[in-house]
Structure formats: C-alpha cells, structure tokens
Amino acid sequence: MKKKSLLILFIALVLIVAIPFSLIACNKDEGVNDDDYTLVLSGLVDKNGNELEDISVTKAQLRQLFETKPVVHGSDDPVYASDKTDDDGNPIAHTVKGVYLEDVLAALTDSAGIEAYGTMTLNATDGYVTVITEEIFNSSGRGSKMILALEYDGVTLNPDEKSGAIRAVFPDQIANAWVKKLNKIEFSTELLKAPAITKFTALESLESLTGDLESYVGKVQLGGEEVSRTYYGYPIAGLIESGVLDAKETDKMHCVAWDYNSAANKFEEYSAWTKYEVYNGGWLLLKVKEEVDGQIIDLDRRPEFDGPDFSSGMTVKNVLSLSVYNNAIVCLEKARIRFAENNGNEFALRKLLDLLNMYDKDDDYIVTSPSGDTLTLTAEKVKTAVIAKENGTFVVKSGSSAVEVATVEKK
C-alpha cells in the first residue's frame, strides 16, 4: 500500500512538471505558425471596372506563390528607401524576400492590373494608416512594384516580429510607404491630386477665429519609462465643425511639411495623404506641458499633425499646410522659412498660392484680417504682392497697401 501511494505521488509530480512545459511548447508553436495570417484586399475592380468582393489572402498562399514567383533582393542587390540615410548620409540597404503585389492580384484575384488604381490605403495591425498614390506604386510610371515582404533584413516575418507578419516594401520610394504589420490594402480608382484651394486660413490667426487652444493628455516613452504629456493645439474635428475646413467622409487630406533632414543637413518638402477616419481624430499641435515640471513650451518642430490615437510613424512635423477639398490651413512661419530668400522676413504671395494650387490669372483674391479689414488683389497684383513678417505678425503688402492675414480667398 505504501509503495502504491509513493507511485501515485511520483506520477502526480511528473504531471505537475510536464503540463506547463507542454503548454509552453504549444504556445511557442502557435506563435511561429502564421500560415493563417490574412491580408485583406478591398475595393478591387475587374478589367471592366466592376467592383469585386473583398479577398483575404493567407500567408500560406503568399508562401506558395513565392515558390513560383519569388522576389529576392540579397546583399548584392539590396533595396533602399528614397529618404532614409545613415549618420554619414549613405542610403540604408535592406535585404528582402517576398512576392510582388501585382503577382498576387494576377494569381489570386480577378482584379484588373495595378494601373487601374489611383490610390492605395495601407493599414497595419498597430493602427498605422497611410494613403499612397500611383506615383509610388504604379511601376509603369515613376512608381515601384510593391513587394509583400515575407523576410526582411534576414528575419523571417511573423506577427511577433518588429515588422509584423507582412511588410510593404517600395524600392526607391519614401519610407512611410514601407508599412510594417500590414493587414489590409484598400484600393481606389480615384486619382489623387493636390486639392485646388479657394480659401486658406493662416494658422497664426486661428486663436482669434476659433478661441483658445484645446488640449489632451498623451503618453510617450522616454528612457524606457512611460511619461504623461499634455498637448495643446486645435482638433481637426473642431476646425471642420467651425467651418475653417470643409470636409466630408469621402475627402482625403493632403499634408505638406517643410522639415529638416539631419542626414542631408537641409530642409526638404514632404507630403502625405490621409483618410477622413484618421484626420478627423487628429490635431494640429503647437505646445506641450511635461508633467514633471509643469512648464508649457512650444513644440520643437511645431506645428505637428498628430493625435491621441495615432500610432508611431504617423506624426507629421513642421507642417506647412493641411488641405482638404477646397480649404487649407497654412502655417505662414513655415511658408516664410520655405520661400523667403536668405531666411528673410518676406516672400512672394504667388509662391504660396502656387503651392496650394490656388493661383488663377482670371481671379481676384481677397485678404481678410482678424478684425475684418480687407484688401482685394487682382491676379496681376498678386504677382508683386508679398507676405511680410513684421513684429511677429504676418501682413500682405501690395504697393502702399497692407493688411494682416487671417484668410486669403479666391473670387
């Protein structure tokens, strides 16, 4: 009886030790096996322009396609993002194994060719969203064939990796299109062009037009610790509600920044598109308060387009303009840095109107001040008019006339 009790006790101990290890082994296998991970393709059309139902493509299907249509860029033939360099200014090389999106469309869907589409919205599992135009993905023009990477820099991708299960790669295109953790692509036949603006509002005048800055509390990682910060600025939803911006759910926003590239040691223009669901939750930020000392200070690269629900990589700093439909918000200080010669205090109004796709030789332009004073300029007068910074205030000057800028509207 005693021997039987000892045997039962021994078996129980073995089970206690073995069960956790078996569970760990199962969990580990589940983490490695990502064959069932899916990439959703929506908004597809066939060669006749008919809409198709959404398609879910599994990693297993992509791996199978790789067997017959492999795309491989090794160390002797790496790929580069057009705007990323190391500390010495050299392009950063990446190795990639995967398949072309164009081959996926041909082999696994009834979709028309890539040339049928004008935009793609790339979505990631971490909430990252970016809208890219045919200039990036249409290889028959200036774009590059999109690679759905299954291996990146020697690492086999899966949901637990930094790049996620699938990464988008666009050789020789901007880095924000190289989306990590890709899980959905929304196709559209719409051709995106910079909005033709009929009215812009100066960011510097918003406080007088809409009231004091609003705020929200966000979290940032500093030195491995999560720190609270209070951000101050203007919620885009509020600017739409007040009429400063005119936007519908189908409208995409065009963001232009004049940002400093430390690697190239110069300022460069950067532009990006985003959809309504994203920018309606975004903010145009100017100030920040750190909870440690309680001081409210200007953001180093203000204004910033950011938001409490934006994932890493979606922030745009040194914003020059935000345009949607036919309205825009313009940071005149950034426009001065962009257009003024020798970092002077004035620049040609015409240059800003051209950037906004706003100038027309047959139209007049009405400049309105925060107090309601106006100055009407013919298209001919616009050619010689300047925006000047005087004692911290921006004014439009034409001949002997001058008025502080709140808005400029095309009539």
Enumerate the domain spans of the chain. Answer: 38-188, 199-410
Task: Please indicate, yes or no, whether the overall pTM of this predicted structure exceeds 0.85.
Answer: no
Q: Which of the 8 DSSP states describes residue 257?
A: E
Q: Cα(118)–Cα(115) distance, rounded to whole angstroms?
A: 8
343: Cα separation from own chain's centroid: 28
Select from 1.10.10.10, 2.40.50.100, 3.90.420.10, 3.40.1440.10 the CATH code of 38-188: 3.90.420.10
Q: Cα(401)–Cα(285) distance, rounded to whole angstroms?
A: 33
Instruction: Grade residue 19 by pLDDT with cuts at 50, 70 and 90.
Output: very low
Burial of 49 from C-beta contacts in 10 A (0-12 / 13-18 / 19+): exposed
Predicted local distance difference test score (pLDDT) of residue 82? 84
Burial 266-291, CB ≥16 within 10 A → b, else e: eeeebebbbbbebbbebbbbbbbbee
Model pLDDT for residues 231-263, shown as the tens digit of each residue: 999 999 999 999 999 999 999 999 999 987 665
Counts of helices then strands in the chain (DSSP H, E): 10, 27
Q: Of 101-115, 235-249, 302-316, give the lowest mean pLDDT range.
A: 302-316
Kindly give, in sequence order, each residue whose CB lies less than 8 Å from that of residue 20, ignoring residues fewer than 6 positions away: none
Nearest to 408 by CA among 197, 209, 199: 199
